Amino acid sequence: MSNNHVSALQEKEMDVYPSRVHGKPQILQRQDPVVHSEWTPDAPLTQEQSGFYERNGYLSLEGFFDGEELAKYQAEARSLQVTARASKQDEVIREPGGDEVRSVFAVHESHDVFKKLSQHPRLLAIMEYLLGSETYIHQSRINYKPGFTGKEFYWHSDFETWHIEDGMPRMRALSCSIALEDNYSFNGPLMVVPGSHKEFVACIGKTPDNHFKDSLRKQEYGVPDHDNLTRMVKESGIDTPVGKAGSIVLFDCNIMHGSNSNITPMPRSNIFMVYNSVDNKLVSPYSGQRPRPQYIATRDSR
Amino acid sequence: MSNNHVSALQEKEMDVYPSRVHGKPQILQRQDPVVHSEWTPDAPLTQEQSGFYERNGYLSLEGFFDGEELAKYQAEARSLQVTARASKQDEVIREPGGDEVRSVFAVHESHDVFKKLSQHPRLLAIMEYLLGSETYIHQSRINYKPGFTGKEFYWHSDFETWHIEDGMPRMRALSCSIALEDNYSFNGPLMVVPGSHKEFVACIGKTPDNHFKDSLRKQEYGVPDHDNLTRMVKESGIDTPVGKAGSIVLFDCNIMHGSNSNITPMPRSNIFMVYNSVDNKLVSPYSGQRPRPQYIATRDSR
């Protein structure tokens, strides 16, 4: 703990991504690579895929899982949704203004099926290639985005939150979203601003203590300003990488993303696994505040 | 007024679309034509367009307005949005949980530009063909669906509300939505269930008095049940007729439709004009309750 504290102070002296400290938003250039390895023919992605990820900040891989393997994840997620409804655990997050289960956190710790999924060799090979080192799970969750009542996830860069609230030093992490149902353009799919991962939008406002309990339902701090969002979208547009169940989307920790609500009858459940480089372990939060709990941000990276 | 009352009683004895009176949802078959004229080569729609509308309950016409004409509507709508922000008039509806302008009603009465638009000869010809008679404006409004904060419109059949709350006897009305901006799949476009206009979903629950004030922000009564929505979407899917600014979408009064929220920076403003047949004028509301105000449902059809 005291080691952590010292290293946080050291890091803070050279914090290259300050946020929530200025009165107005600022744009900082990314100081870290996007792909942390040199591509070779042995890489687990084609050169084209790797280049697409580097330029756009995301990559969609259709049909990554299928058959019995996919069915196993779907069944486990459905069964978890049922037990989560009655659960009082902190790991279970509800929809704003309702009791429907929005997310369940730390599924790679609570469920063997998801633990094994997080260590899936085909996934790990890609993560180690993109992050240039061994990796560990920074955060895992299932987002259920139920039909009829699923609410939006407002625009944000994950890294902004992980840096300020969790103490993740640099941009060397990524999310892997595994579709448990077919995604459509109309059931609240993930929207990304391609290329936005190359600039860091420093947000305004100080975060209240224990803010995370509300932010997982509806984010109100660490959100980018309208002017910068408008500019980014005007420059680069919006991509909605939709795919069938079993497809995965990889996206960089700093890409600007969000999703609209879902009034359709089709739920949009996804498993999220966030991989961080072992060379990018958490220090004390850059906000100077208390870190969020382990089930949101792993501090003992095994 | 007393004439209205008598005819309402007469109509009620033979109310073919009862709703909000049963303890569980019911499905009733449509008793009215969709296209109320025989198609001839002189019709203002092609036979294919007319057939598409009859089968699917909606029709998209790309580039119906353009150039100076479109620019005039856009400018007037933008200017109205600015004045509406400071307005305390009932006609101005705010977004739920915010102060952004969601809709402005009765624009065909308050603004000459929109009055003329409502009587546009090319529009009127189509309305008179589809409704088989002269028509009048039952309701008009601009929906602003602002960027970043635009909330969803939950699934509903307009006719269910117009019948129960306004006293519209039969299915002989339609909406014309005029896009003031380009619509995309990701900025909360209109979603319709094709073919759903051929069945009437009788909803459960009695409507509270003066319910309309809340329902224009967020509808909670007269909403179809999850089971029927799920079945309808499984049978017929969801269409999202998106088009460029100046495109119009016509949709039948009984088609099941709604839209998701809009967190993108692109607003999705549309002008809505609802045309009703002069042979289908309002009687007393079928709920037996007080009718909604004139700015929502015209009772003196001129």
Position with higher pLDDT, B274 vs B20: B274
Q: How many domains does chain A have?
A: 1
- CA B96 to chain centroid, in Å, comes to 20
Report the mean per-residue pLDDT for chain B: 89
User: What share of chain B has pLDDT > 70, as a percent?
Assistant: 90
Question: Residue A162 has what DSSP assignment?
Answer: I
**Beta partners for residue A104, in sequence order:** A92, A142
- CA A64 to chain centroid, in Å, comes to 19
Alpha carbons A225 and A25: distance in angstroms, whole number: 7
Alpha carbons A13 and A171: distance in angstroms, whole number: 17
Task: Give pLDDT, residue A1.
Answer: 37
B22 assigned to some structural domain: no
A52 assigned to some structural domain: yes
Position with higher pLDDT, A203 vs B46: B46
Position with higher pLDDT, B96 vs B1: B96
Position with higher pLDDT, A58 vs B269: A58
B158 assigned to some structural domain: yes
A30 assigned to some structural domain: no
For B263, which of A148, A240, A258 is closest by C-beta distance? A258
> Does residue B6 surpass a pLDDT of 80?
no
For A238, which of B151, B186, B226 is closest by C-beta distance? B186
Min Cα separation A248/chain B (Å): 20
The range of the structural domain enclosing residue A256 comes to 37-280
Alpha carbons A272 and A250: distance in angstroms, whole number: 10
Min Cα separation A192/chain B (Å): 10
For the sheet with B191-192, list strands across it: B153-157, B256-259, B191-192
Which residues of chain B neighbour A263 with C-beta distances below 8 Å?
152, 154-155, 191, 258-260
B253 within 8 A of B174, measured Cβ to Cβ? yes
Alpha carbons A117 and A114: distance in angstroms, whole number: 5
B3 band by pLDDT with thresholds 50, 70 and 90 = very low
B35-42 long-range contacts (CB < 8 A, ≥24 apart) are: B35/B129, B35/B130, B35/B132, B36/B130, B36/B131, B36/B132, B36/B133, B36/B172, B36/B277, B37/B129, B37/B130, B37/B132
CA-derived radius of gyration, chain A: 18
Domain holding A205: CATH number? 2.60.120.620
* SS3 letters across chain B: CHHHHHHHHHHHHCCCCCCCCECCCEEEECCCCCCCCCCCCCCCCCHHHHHHHHHHCEEEECCCCCHHHHHHHHHHHHHHHHHHHCCCCCCEEECCCCCCEEEEECHHHHCHHHHHHHCCHHHHHHHHHHHCCCEEEEEEEEECCCCCCECCEEEEEHHHHHHHHHCCCCCCEEEEEEECCCCCCCCCCCEECCCHHHEEEECECCCCCCCHHHHCCCCCCCCCCHHHHHHHHHHHCCECCCCCCCCEEEEECCCEEEECCECCCCCCCEEEEEEEEHHHCCCCCCCCCCCCCCCCCCCCCC
Closest residue on chain A to B188 (Cα):
A260
Please choose, from the candidates A137, A154, A284, A169, the residue with its C-alpha nearest in 3D space to the C-alpha of residue A215: A154
Tokens encoding A1: 């703990």
Q: Going residue by residue through chain A (302 aa), what tens digit of pLDDT does each one get? A: 334 444 544 545 589 999 988 888 889 999 999 999 999 999 999 999 999 999 999 999 999 999 999 999 999 999 999 999 888 888 998 877 777 888 999 999 999 999 999 999 999 999 999 999 999 999 999 998 888 888 888 999 999 999 999 999 999 999 999 999 998 999 989 999 999 999 999 988 777 666 666 665 555 677 899 999 999 999 999 999 999 999 999 999 999 999 998 999 998 899 999 999 999 999 999 988 899 999 999 987 55
Which residues of chain A neighbour B188 with C-beta distances below 8 Å?
260
Segment B68-94 shows an average pLDDT of: 93
Task: Give pLDDT, residue A181.
Answer: 92
Q: Is B49 exposed, middle or buried (0-12, 13-18, 19+ CB in 10 A)?
A: middle
* Sign of the torsion formed by the C-alpha atoms of A182, A185, A191 and A193: positive
Beta-carbon contacts below 8 Å between A and B: 71
Min Cα separation A14/chain B (Å): 34
A10 assigned to some structural domain: no
- pTM of this structure: 0.84
Segment B4-14 shows an average pLDDT of: 52
> Does residue B56 surpass a pLDDT of 60?
yes
Segment B145-164 shows an average pLDDT of: 89
Segment B68-87 shows an average pLDDT of: 94
ipTM exceeding the 0.90 mark:
no
B286 assigned to some structural domain: no
Closest residue on chain A to B155 (Cα):
A263
Min Cα separation A157/chain B (Å): 15
Please choose, from the candidates A296, A278, A282, the residue with its C-alpha nearest in 3D space to the C-alpha of residue A136: A278
B8 assigned to some structural domain: no
Q: Which residues contact B137 (CB under 8 A, 6 or more apart)?
A: B108, B118, B273, B274, B275, B276, B298
Closest residue on chain B to A155 (Cα):
B263
Q: Tell me the backbone φ, ψ of residue B105, rounded to 5 degrees.
A: -95, 165
For B227-260, how does the pLDDT look when each residue is reduced to its tens digit (9 = 90+)? 999 999 999 999 999 999 999 999 999 999 999 9
B219 band by pLDDT with thresholds 50, 70 and 90 = low
Which residues of chain A neighbour B259 with C-beta distances below 8 Å?
263
A114 assigned to some structural domain: yes
Task: Give pLDDT, residue B5.
Answer: 46
**H helix or E strand, kind and range, residue A51:** helix A47-56
